[in-house]
Amino acid sequence: MLKNTLSRLALIALAAGFMGLANAQNLDTSANAPATDDGRPTRGMTQSRVESTYGAPVTKMTPVGEPPITRWEYQNMIVYFEYDRVIHAVLKR
């Protein structure tokens, strides 16, 4: 009797734990997100959108590796692209 009760309690506790995990939220990481607060392009922006927003870069490096990673250097920042999408943008010191 006691063994059955403990087994049922353990099963209920396990089920309650899994139900808590199923309560996740989704984060919207839209590719059309505006620039960050510090003026950098956001992840997912296209090369054409970056160029239309920030102008032509001072330097466009040729793609390297697979997948191809391209680096555009502006006066105050460097923008990294995978194919034609921003993956990272950093401000220069």
What is the separation, in whole angstroms, between the first and last Cα of the chain? 70
- Domain edges within the chain: 35-91
Q: What does pTM read for this prediction?
A: 0.62
pLDDT in tens, 16-50: 665 555 555 565 555 555 555 778 999 999 999 99
- Full DSSP string of 12-44: HHHHHHHHHHT--------TTPPPPTTSPPPTT
pLDDT in tens, 63-79: 999 999 999 999 999 99
Determine the length of the chain: 93
Distance CA 67, CA 64 (A): 8
SS3 assignment, position 82? strand
